[in-house]
Structure 1
Amino acid sequence: MANGTKKFSVTIPEDLAETVQARIGRASFSAYVSEALARQVEQDNLRDLIASAEAEHGPVDRAEVDAKRAILRGEAESTGYSRPPAA
């Protein structure tokens, strides 16, 4: 991201603004919003990547995703590629 900043005027629900202010206290509201926007851009980019991959390779198999998650959580053993032990 660029090093400079740009000022914007945005309108957000009052209860949301109060919740954020209560959470961050004296910290920078702008910094909090900037971090939230950066996370949203990352999520949007991931959605774009997934859409591109699905367009090229077909839709993601939900059962395979769930199986891989179980492996990552240690709830199941992998039957595929495994890394060699670290030297």
Structure 2
Amino acid sequence: MSGATRKYSISIPEDLAETVREQVGPGGFSAYVTEALRHRLAMDRLTELVVDHEARHGAFTDEELAHADALLSGAAEQHVKGRNAA
């Protein structure tokens, strides 16, 4: 999903924009917003997948949710270990 870029004009609450700018610096603002948009699109897609799955198979059980949580926790731990090793 990368490639050509285009400049857009968007409205963001000033306090939010300044908090981001303070955190990432003036050169990192666009990259931060791009990453946030990609994350939101991924979460929207995940929601669509869950809704579709539950429509066809019923709601996830507590056991299934616990299993998924354990898998995600393990993946998160591996991610952190990988970042710390770099």
TM-score by length of 1: 0.71
**RMSD in angstroms over aligned alpha carbons?**
2.1
Q: Which runs of 5+ in 2 are unaligned?
A: 75-86
2:38 equivalent in structure 1: 38
The residue type paired with residue 37 of structure 2 is L
TM superposition outliers: structure 1 runs of 4+ over 3 Å: 69-74
1:51 equivalent in structure 2: 51
Residue deviations 1:33-72, cap 9 Å, x none? Answer: 00110000010010001011011101112x2113x23587
Q: Which runs of 5+ in 1 are unaligned?
A: 75-87
The number of aligned residues is 72
Identity of aligned residues (%): 46
TM-score by length of 2: 0.72
Distance of aligned partners of 1:52 and 1:10 in 2 relative to their CA distance in 1, 3 Å threshold:
same
Higher percent of residues as helix:
2
**Do the aligned partners of 2:21 and 2:28 also contact (CA within 8 Å) in 1?**
no
